[in-house]
């Protein structure tokens, strides 16, 4: 298989970092299977990798980090696996609440959290409320999230507002723009990801940030998520820095 994760002697340039990195945290189950461990052990290892990568992103000056933690399709997995993922999320949020004053990391959630447990919803609400006090790096956690679901939700909410405003004579039929529609996304007021990374060897977006990724640079690596570290991230960023982003135009 073609490996897009080639090592290079040159290092990332600190002055040309992507503003927003998004990561599909994939490969926990395969990591565990290789070690004859239960899948829950892979998710626990992946959670620790997330902590380290998030801290490193903060340290090097990344402004936004968005991670795909649990998709709308992941409910199809065995109940015990889903339960272990939710327990890890709860543990992370409890620890984050204790450390947020020190670390000043903002946390926001993308996805429909209404079907999560009352305890988890309460933690999510408390975490987002406390996050409003900080201006540091923002970590967006996608939980019960799907890109198509997000677009449908945005369209439904826009249609409701349009029906109300048009009845009041406050909106023109041609008023909808990409900028206006983006305000109905979970990512409203957050810049689109510059760089999307997917570990584990799979080369697809898997319903992740479909609206926001229109001009994102994509990067795929065979490294499984629990083995992903700051050195791997540095190499990925170097690949990003070597690319020429033209957004559909031509370089003059």
Q: Which residues are marked as active site?
A: 26, 74
Whether the CB-CB separation of 217 and 243 falls below 8 Å is answered with yes
- 140, β-bridge pairs: 66, 108
Whether the CB-CB separation of 116 and 87 falls below 8 Å is answered with no
Burial environment of residue 133 by CB neighbours within 10 A (0 to 12, 13 to 18, 19 or more): exposed
Helices (DSSP H) in 168-229: which residue ranges?
Answer: 178-182
Identify the H or E element spanning 152: helix 147-167
d(CA 137, CA 91): 21
Helices (DSSP H) in the chain: which residue ranges?
Answer: 28-34, 39-60, 79-103, 118-131, 147-167, 178-182, 230-241
- 70, β-bridge pairs: 143
Burial environment of residue 152 by CB neighbours within 10 A (0 to 12, 13 to 18, 19 or more): exposed
Q: Kindly state the tokens that stand for 186.
A: 């979970």
3-state secondary structure of 17: coil
Burial environment of residue 195 by CB neighbours within 10 A (0 to 12, 13 to 18, 19 or more): buried
- 64, β-bridge pairs: 20, 138
């Amino acid at each position: 298989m073609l490996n897009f994760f080639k090592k290079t002697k040159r290092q990332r340039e600190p002055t040309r970092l992507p503003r927003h990195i998004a990561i599909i945290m994939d490969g926990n189950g395969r990591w565990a299977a290789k070690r004859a461990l239960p899948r829950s052990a892979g998710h626990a290892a992946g959670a620790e990798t997330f902590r380290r990568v998030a801290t490193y992103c903060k340290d090097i000056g990344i402004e936004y980090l968005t991670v795909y933690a649990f998709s709308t399709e992941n409910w199809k997995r065995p109940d015990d696996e889903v339960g272990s993922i939710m327990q890890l999320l709860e543990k992370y949020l409890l620890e984050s609440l204790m450390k947020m004053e020190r670390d000043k990391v903002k946390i926001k959630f993308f996805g429909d959290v209404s079907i999560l447990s009352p305890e988890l919803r309460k933690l999510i609400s408390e975490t987002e409320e406390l996050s409003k006090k900080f201006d540091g790096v923002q970590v967006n956690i996608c939980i019960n999230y799907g890109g198509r679901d997000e677009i449908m939700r945005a369209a439904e909410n826009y249609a409701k507002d349009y029906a109300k405003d048009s009845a009041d004579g406050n909106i023109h039929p041609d008023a909808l723009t990409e900028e206006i529609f983006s305000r109905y996304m979970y990512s409203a007021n957050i810049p689109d990801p510059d760089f999307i990374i997917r570990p584990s060897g799979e080369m697809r977006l898997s319903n992740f940030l479909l609206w926001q990724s229109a001009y994102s640079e994509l990067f795929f690596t065979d490294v499984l998520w629990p083995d992903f570290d700051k050195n791997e991230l540095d190499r990925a960023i170097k690949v990003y820095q070597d690319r020429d982003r033209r957004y559909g135009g031509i370089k003059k």
